[in-house]
Amino acid sequence: MVVCVCNAIREREVREAARNGAASACQAYALCGKQAKCGQCVPFARAIIDAERAAA
C-alpha cells in the first residue's frame, strides 16, 4: 500500500524505517531519502510507526 503519494513511499518502507529506529514520519522519510511534502500522509505513517514500535 502507498503511504505517501508525493514521494511514492510504501507501507513496507515505513515499517522497515521504524524497525531501523525511526520514531517519527519525518525520520522514516529521511531514512528513505525523502521528506514529507503536503503532509496528508503523516498521520498514517505515524500510526504505522507506532504499531511497529509497539510490536517490537
The pLDDT confidence band at residue 56, using thresholds 50, 70 and 90, is confident
Average pLDDT, the chain: 94
What's the whole-model pTM score? 0.90
Model pLDDT for residues 8-34, shown as the tens digit of each residue:
999 999 999 999 999 999 999 999 999
Beta strands in 1-56 (DSSP E): 2-4, 9-10
Please answer whether residues 1 and 10 qualify as being in contact, where contact means their C-beta atoms are separated by less than 8 angstroms.
yes
Task: Using CB atoms within 10 Å of the CB of residue 55, give its burial: 0 to 12 exposed, 13 to 18 middle, 19+ buried.
Answer: exposed
d(CA 42, CA 26): 8
What per-residue confidence (pLDDT) applies to 41? 95
Q: How many CA atoms lie within 13 A of 51 on its CB side?
A: 11
